[in-house]
Structure 1
Amino acid sequence: MNKLIYLTCILSISILWASCTKEDIDIYSGDDALFFAQQWGVAHFENHINPSNASKNSHQAYSKIGFGGMLEEDSLLLLNVQISGFIKDYDRPFGIEVVNDSTTAINGTEFELVDPVADAVIPAGGSNALIRILFHKTERMDNENLQLQVRIIPGEHFVLPFDNEGYGRMPIIPSTNTILNEYNNLNLDPSIHNIFINNFLTMPPGWVNNFMGIWSENKFRLLLDFTNERLGWTIATWNDKENMWPPATRYKMPQALLAEYLLEQYKKGREHWVLDPDGTMMWVPDQNLPWGEDARPENMEGN
């Protein structure tokens, strides 16, 4: 009986194995296509694809260059272009162009494509290309969020099969941040990529309202100036959370420097009072300023 069961099992497996021939396995039969496959999100200012941890990054429909968080005046973006289709044993060039009517950054002054001809090639045995774009910080980035839009020109070796609906089949995960979602929603075409460039300041990771009051970009710019001049701190110092710990001691000197300036301006007269963008008096705690948090100049006495 045992032998009969054994032989029956062997026969069943043989039949199943014979039915699974190479002809039954589907292979890719579509066109060779190109699309932007930019991945970032592991770190706030990581704007390039990182092969060592690409699986941890989300596909994004845009990139950001935030000079407000950098010491550098220039920033190199590596823009990833990916293929869908077969890998070939020869180089396959394509094209990259700037979409001028959707670009506010100035070519040659605020950005430059490093070598668009050499970069826009899917190499033999490869499945992607990295387009190098170099950005330069300018004064108008302090107040303007500039945009660069680039587009893939497929050339003779590729097609662009993705349309607005096709975008939904790509592994793009929008950010949960409202502003970033707005950026993503500006573009549903994976043959186009938007890059946003500014010099806006963002709240450093170690900022604690209990020690510095409500964060504002105006307040932070003043703090950067004072702490750089008196303490040698840079934006990197503020962005290093471990360096700014514990805040109860690390924030004492910045508190005092800012409060000294605010009080000096207050004593000069009403026209010199320093306000935050919401119209309230700029304030820091624990410095005995003659006004409190959320104080408005129209409700205060003084010249």
Structure 2
Amino acid sequence: MKLKILLFAVMSFPFLWSCDKEEIPVFASNDAGIYFQRLTSTVYGSTTEYYSDSTDFSFAGMYAYYTSHVLNAPVLTMGKVVDYDRPFKVVVDMEESTAIEGIDFEIELDSLVIKAGTSNAVVPVRLLRTETLLEKSLKIVLRLQENEHFKCYLKTYKNTNLYTAKGEQISGIRYVFTFNEMYTQPNFWKNYAEQDYFGEWTPKKYQVVNQVCGLTPRDWQNANMYGYKVQSARLPFFARTVRIYLQEQADAGNPVKDSDEKYMQLAPNYEVDYSDYQ
């Protein structure tokens, strides 16, 4: 009976035996590949994962005393794990990047290795907090390059390991950091702080007020709520504190300029004396 069923299957589906041969690329056991991959999310109760080839970051919300921040581009390898360190190569794509190394970011590319016994590493990038970020976003583009240890086999791939999902294609050899410190005017500033205390809102003035008074955007978003620093009753104190700071800077020969390159000024009751510079 089993023999009859087998013969019937062969006779009924002859196309199974007449298909043209396809050349399937073989990943040799001694080969090693390398690619970028950031895990963005997982599906609870399953092995499903989603990935990205980029990171977006904003300094907005961080206290002013943070002058830099480190982000990592995760790197994974394909092939055997070995018992020795293997250097890998990454370069900054200066044609695509809008950030300038040494001014907007710092990176060390000469000591990147996949450590012995491991299959992953990170490429750390230190983002520098500059005034440019108040006006626009900057971009850093990293690219993996092949060397004697690793090949870039995975140029693109699907952004999920879920086989049935369509997903989108992401890059395995290109990683992008986009960063800024862009703000929007808080309603509380417009309705309560502008006319009598701080004057017209600008991104630079907002940054200075937050720096001097130890405030964050969350304090402004939740103004007059319990547990947050921005309160109507404290606005006179904040305005006096900022005026003292600005006056001290002016008296010391370092007047603070606003976003329009004019000397920073507050509301009339808290004006700073810039007569020495007129």
Normalising by the residue count of structure 1, what TM-score does the alignment of the two structures yield?
0.51
Secondary structure of 1:234's partner? coil
Larger helix fraction of residues: 1
Q: Count how many residue pairs are aligned between Structure 1 and Structure 2.
A: 190
Q: Is the 8 A contact 2:60 2:217 kept in 1?
A: no
Secondary structure of 1:238's partner? helix
Taking the aligned partners of 1:41 and 1:125, their CA distance within structure 2 comes to 26
Mapping of 1:53-64 within 5 angstroms?
58-64=50-56
Larger strand fraction of residues: 2
Quick one: structure 1 residues 97 and 227, their matched pair in 2 at CA, closer, same or farther if it must change by over 3 Å?
closer
In the alignment, which residue of structure 2 is the partner of 1:253? Answer: 232
Secondary structure of 1:69's partner? coil
Quick one: structure 1 residues 61 and 137, their matched pair in 2 at CA, closer, same or farther if it must change by over 3 Å?
same
Deviations 1:197-246 (A, max 9, x none): 2111379xxx9x79988xxxx588766655665xx3422762897x9854
Secondary structure of 2:133's partner? helix
Q: Is the 8 A contact 1:69 1:202 kept in 2?
A: no
**After the TM superposition, which segments of 4 or more aligned residues of structure 1 sit over 3 Å from their partners?**
28-31, 39-42, 55-58, 169-172, 209-213, 218-229, 243-247, 249-252, 254-257
Quick one: structure 1 residues 85 and 70, their matched pair in 2 at CA, closer, same or farther if it must change by over 3 Å?
same
In the alignment, which residue of structure 1 is the partner of 2:100? Answer: 106
Taking the aligned partners of 1:160 and 1:83, their CA distance within structure 2 comes to 10
Q: Is the 8 A contact 2:58 2:181 kept in 1?
A: yes
Task: Check if 1:76 corresponds to 2:70.
Answer: yes
Quick one: structure 1 residues 221 and 189, their matched pair in 2 at CA, closer, same or farther if it must change by over 3 Å?
same
Secondary structure of 2:60's partner? helix
Quick one: structure 1 residues 169 and 131, their matched pair in 2 at CA, closer, same or farther if it must change by over 3 Å?
closer
Deviations 1:65-96 (A, max 9, x none): 31222221111112211112211111111101
Taking the aligned partners of 1:255 and 1:222, their CA distance within structure 2 comes to 18
Quick one: structure 1 residues 63 and 109, their matched pair in 2 at CA, closer, same or farther if it must change by over 3 Å?
same
Q: Which of 96, 113, 119 is matched with 1:121 structurally?
A: 113
Taking the aligned partners of 2:102 and 2:202, their CA distance within structure 1 comes to 33
Task: Check if 1:135 corresponds to 2:127.
Answer: yes
Deviations 1:155-204 (A, max 9, x none): 1122111234xx116549xxxxxxxxxxxx8x83211001112111379x
Secondary structure of 1:141's partner? helix
Q: Is the 8 A contact 2:87 2:149 kept in 1?
A: yes
Quick one: structure 1 residues 141 and 193, their matched pair in 2 at CA, closer, same or farther if it must change by over 3 Å?
same
Unaligned runs of 5+ in 2: 1-26, 163-167, 192-200, 240-278
Q: Is the 8 A contact 1:65 1:75 kept in 2?
A: no
Taking the aligned partners of 2:210 and 2:124, their CA distance within structure 1 comes to 35
Quick one: structure 1 residues 223 and 92, their matched pair in 2 at CA, closer, same or farther if it must change by over 3 Å?
closer
Task: Check if 1:191 corresponds to 2:197.
Answer: no
Deviation of residue 33 (structure 1)? 1.2
Taking the aligned partners of 1:239 and 1:125, their CA distance within structure 2 comes to 49
Taking the aligned partners of 2:190 and 2:127, their CA distance within structure 1 comes to 33
Normalising by the residue count of structure 2, what TM-score does the alignment of the two structures yield?
0.55
